[in-house]
Amino acid sequence: MADDERSTADRHQPVLLQRCVDLLAPALAEPGSVLVDCTLGMGGHTEAVLEQVPGARVVGIDRDPQALRLAGERLARFGDRFTAVHAVYDEIGDVVARLGLDGVQGVLMDLGVSSLQLDEAGRGFAYAQDAPLDMRMDQTTGITAAEVLNTYDERELTRVLREYGEERFAAKIARSVVRRRVERPWARTHELADLVRACIPAATRKTGGNPSKRTFQALRIEVNGELEVLERAVPAAIEALALGGRIVVESYHSLEDRIVKRAIARGTTSSAPPGLPVEPETHRPYLEALTRGAEEADADELVRNPRSASVRLRAATRTRPTPAHLKTGTPSITRKEERR
């Protein structure tokens, strides 16, 4: 049976599914309430919300056309309660505006690479399966991992591996990548996995899982501009929330979680200068945290769904409008975006 013919429910088990629904449901109780699922994937979280909160509508955003098609088939039974949008999730403000919505009641982000992308060998995300070095979440646009490996200089490659993969041996791997591409261009995932393994000392390889995982993570983040998108997306999602609306974000590595933590902390902390006898109204927090720090998967979830091992969940609710002096402007276009 071809992958596309398999049930999407069989191919993907959403992480912390019920916890996400429970956090979002109070804000979606009124008929016509809208949730924006910013990372639709194969629609598991959205399906659960539509089943358990019968008055809610969901707008599902994804940059991956294959995910949109599969999720659309899965969710077709909900009719006009579900709307699919092909976009990158930092465009949430534009999406909400185009749909004529004056704020939404919920936002969900399940970050990182999806099960669909990991399990599709031809996408090049998985180091355990040989495939072209692609790694684009949207294969209709942007540079591939092979292009990164074949065109970035050694210094830039080292930066990508060190910053996005937190790879201790970034410089050695980058040097080897550049040296090897002189002989023939990078094209396949197994070639990269073999080179990374050779660059990492045997003693280090004994722990920490596959030695290629940090390099593959770094390249995926670079190819898709994931952290740059997330830096814009979380504030934009908060601004899209109506009063009483809730945002729930699942992160899978420290770089993502740090961005989410910072954005939520900004909204849950007074912006008044220290020492003032009375806190001015304009400096009061505009978010209230719904989780104490970051929540992790419990033992039962880890058994059911091993991919939940690294999840960190944070959630907050909007309590008042964002003060004008704290609203972020439109970020400037980065060098990475200009290339894309």
Q: Are strands 82-86 and 57-62 parallel, antiparallel or unpaired?
A: parallel
Please list the residue range(s) of the chain that carry CATH number 1.10.150.170: 122-224
Does 62 count as an annotated binding residue? Answer: yes
Does 164 count as an annotated binding residue? Answer: no
Please list the residue range(s) of the chain that carry CATH number 3.40.50.150: 3-116+227-339
Does 217 count as an annotated binding residue? Answer: no
- pLDDT given for residue 11 in this prediction: 55
Q: Does the pLDDT at position 10 exceed 90?
A: no
- pLDDT given for residue 165 in this prediction: 94
* Mean pLDDT to the nearest integer, 4-19: 70
pTM: 0.88
Binned at pLDDT 50, 70 and 90, residue 312 comes out as: very high
- pLDDT given for residue 313 in this prediction: 98
Mean pLDDT over each residue of the chain, to the nearest integer: 88
Phi and psi torsions of 91, nearest 5°: -90, 15
- pLDDT given for residue 338 in this prediction: 35
**What does the pLDDT look like over 84-93, one tens digit per residue?**
999 999 999 9
* Mean pLDDT to the nearest integer, 269-277: 76
Helices assigned H by DSSP within the chain: 8-11, 17-24, 44-52, 65-75, 92-98, 115-119, 145-151, 154-165, 170-181, 189-199, 202-205, 213-224, 226-240, 254-268, 299-304, 335-339
Pairwise CA distance, residues 39 & 63, whole Å: 8
**What does the pLDDT look like over 292-304, one tens digit per residue?**
999 999 999 999 9
* Mean pLDDT to the nearest integer, 130-145: 92
- pLDDT given for residue 206 in this prediction: 67
Does 22 count as an annotated binding residue? Answer: no
Does 103 count as an annotated binding residue? Answer: no
- pLDDT given for residue 54 in this prediction: 95
Give the number of other Cβ atoms within 10 Å of residue 65's Cβ. Answer: 13
The CATH classification of domain 122-224, taken from the options 2.40.50.140, 3.40.50.1240, 1.10.150.170, 3.40.50.300 = 1.10.150.170
Assigned architecture for domain 3-116+227-339: 3-Layer(aba) Sandwich (3.40)
**What does the pLDDT look like over 98-131, one tens digit per residue?**
999 999 999 999 998 766 666 676 677 777 788 9
**What does the pLDDT look like over 157-192, one tens digit per residue?**
999 999 999 999 999 999 999 999 999 999 999 999
Q: Does the pLDDT at position 195 exceed 50?
A: yes
Does 12 count as an annotated binding residue? Answer: no
Q: In this structure, what token pair is assigned to residue 277?
A: 């006898």
Q: Does the pLDDT at position 132 exceed 90?
A: yes
Pairwise CA distance, residues 119 & 109, whole Å: 20
**What does the pLDDT look like over 215-225, one tens digit per residue?**
999 999 999 99
Does 44 count as an annotated binding residue? Answer: yes
Q: Does the pLDDT at position 208 exceed 80?
A: no
